[in-house]
């Protein structure tokens, strides 16, 4: 598990850390859930770009989740 974490590029670790910090802040301050959906979109997109060369199936699934969560965010914003 630790080996997999060290294989990730620095930009992915920074994005992952920022999303986790955002989640903690949103949970502690009772902010809007749309911020968390935005964090999921960013995280799945970053994971898709990270895994594109070595794990193509994982990247495609990550991009599909990015599209799904973007659609959910769009529907929430249209309410």
**What does pTM read for this prediction?**
0.83
Q: 45 lies in a domain? A: yes
pLDDT value at residue 2? 55
Q: 6 lies in a domain? A: no
Q: 8 lies in a domain? A: no
Q: 17 lies in a domain? A: no
In Å, the largest CA–CA distance within the chain is: 44
Tokens of 62: 């990550």
pLDDT value at residue 1? 44
Q: Which residue has the tokens 């994982």?
A: 58
Phi-psi region of 30 (alpha: psi -120 to 50; beta: other; left: phi over 0): left
Q: 37 lies in a domain? A: yes
- Written as tens digits, the pLDDT of the chain (79 aa) is 455 656 789 999 999 999 999 999 999 998 888 899 999 999 999 999 999 988 999 999 999 999 999 999 999 999 8
Q: What is the domain range of residue 69? A: 32-79
pLDDT value at residue 79? 80
Q: 7 lies in a domain? A: no
pLDDT value at residue 3? 58
pLDDT value at residue 4? 61
Q: 74 lies in a domain? A: yes
Domain count for the chain: 1
Q: 16 lies in a domain? A: no
């Amino acid at each position: 598990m630790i080996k997999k974490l060290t294989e990730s590029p620095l930009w992915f670790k920074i994005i992952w850390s920022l999303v986790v910090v955002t989640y903690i802040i949103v949970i502690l301050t009772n902010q809007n859930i749309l911020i968390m959906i935005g964090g999921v979109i960013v995280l799945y997109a970053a994971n898709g770009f990270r895994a594109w060369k070595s794990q193509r199936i994982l990247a495609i699934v990550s991009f599909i989740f990015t599209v799904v969560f973007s659609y959910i965010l769009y529907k929430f914003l249209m309410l």
